[in-house]
Amino acid sequence: MIDFLNQLKDRNEPLFYFGWVCLISALVFLVLAKTTSTQVYGVNAWFKPFKFAASTVTFAWAMAWYCHYLPNFNIKMFNASVIVLLGFEIVYIALQASRGQLSHYNMSTPFYAMMYSFMALAASLVTIYTAYVGFLFFKGSFPELPVHYLWAIRLGILVFVIFSFQGFAMGSRLNHSVGALNDNSNLFILGWSKTVGDLRVAHFIGMHALQLLPLLSFYVLRNTKLTMLVSVLYGILALLSLIQAFKGKPLSSISFKATEHVDV
């Protein structure tokens, strides 16, 4: 781990330190979630900034690692975009949490509606920039990289971009639940609904293809065809979880139905 962090710092110092700021922030938010009682939609308000900050760590460090392979890439502009845009999101989400107010889906005042639109724009711009990075990996030749690892990066970015934009399915509805209004459960940190469809499940699975697929390929699969197969299956998993959510069914619907049958 220490070797990875040292290499990461050498590859991209700005995103290295930005990741640390997000990680420390995430830990602070987690402590606040465990020591305060302010709630939004039935869960502690600080869980949301915790999840966003923790997710940003994994994104920033993964992209810092991958972009190092790109020749003639304007890394300074990419770094600035990620730090400013995602930093803005985390700060605003944390500010709203401290006030017990919604950050996402908040259309209660013109100002909140404007800020929500700004967050959507920030996320979209980062996703588009990431898609461009993915295009460069598809377009370019990287003889120094194992072929299976290169394809894992390509497909990981592709799945990430698709399911990042899937966030609009929630934003346009002002609701991450199907069958209830922004339902949350007591699942630690994740908070996915146990009773209705939850669009956040596919969003989470798809976006973390960015980290999981290259790691699996590099350390476990070590084969191009196998990497492609696992990547396709992973994408199908994210898609099926999205379809299930739109049907109004929770991730654990099968087990819950079984429990209900026994109770009766």
Burial class (CB in 10 A: 0-12, 13-18, 19+), 9: middle
pLDDT tens for the chain, 264 residues: list them.
889 999 999 999 999 999 999 999 999 999 999 999 999 888 899 999 999 999 999 999 999 999 999 999 999 999 999 999 999 999 999 999 999 999 999 999 999 999 999 999 999 999 999 999 999 999 999 999 999 999 999 999 999 999 999 999 999 999 998 988 888 876 667 888 888 999 999 999 999 999 999 999 999 999 999 999 999 999 999 999 999 999 999 987 644 444 444 443
pLDDT at 255: 46
Interacting residues of 65 by C-beta distance below 8 A, sequence separation 6+: 8, 11, 12
Q: Which two tokens stand for residue 56?
A: 């940003």
In terms of domains, do 192 and 96 share one? no
Residues 131 and 161 reside in one and the same domain: no
Contact (CB, 8 A) for 96 and 62: no
Residue at 146 is within a domain: no
Number of domains making up the chain: 2
| Residue 82 is assigned to a structural domain of this protein | yes
Handedness of CA 78, 160, 63, 98 (dihedral sign): positive
The amino acid at residue 25 is: S
Are 71 and 180 found together in one domain? no
Per DSSP (E only), the strands in 2-159 are 39-40, 43-44
Element (DSSP H or E) covering residue 241: helix 224-246
Structural domain contains residue 89: yes
pTM for this entry: 0.92
**Could you tell me which residues are beta bridge partners of residue 44?**
39
179 and 239 part of one domain: yes
The length of the chain in residues reads: 264
Final residue of a domain: which of 111, 140, 169?
Answer: 140
Could you say which of 140, 166, 193 is where a domain stops?
Answer: 140
47 lies in the same domain as 82: yes
Q: Supply the range of the domain harboring residue 159.
A: 151-264
Q: How far apart are the first and last CA of the chain?
A: 51
2: three-class secondary structure by DSSP: helix
Give yes or no: residues 133 and 207 share one domain.
no
CA distances from 171 to 9, 36, 79, 86, 167 (A): 35, 28, 26, 17, 6
pLDDT attached to residue 182: 85
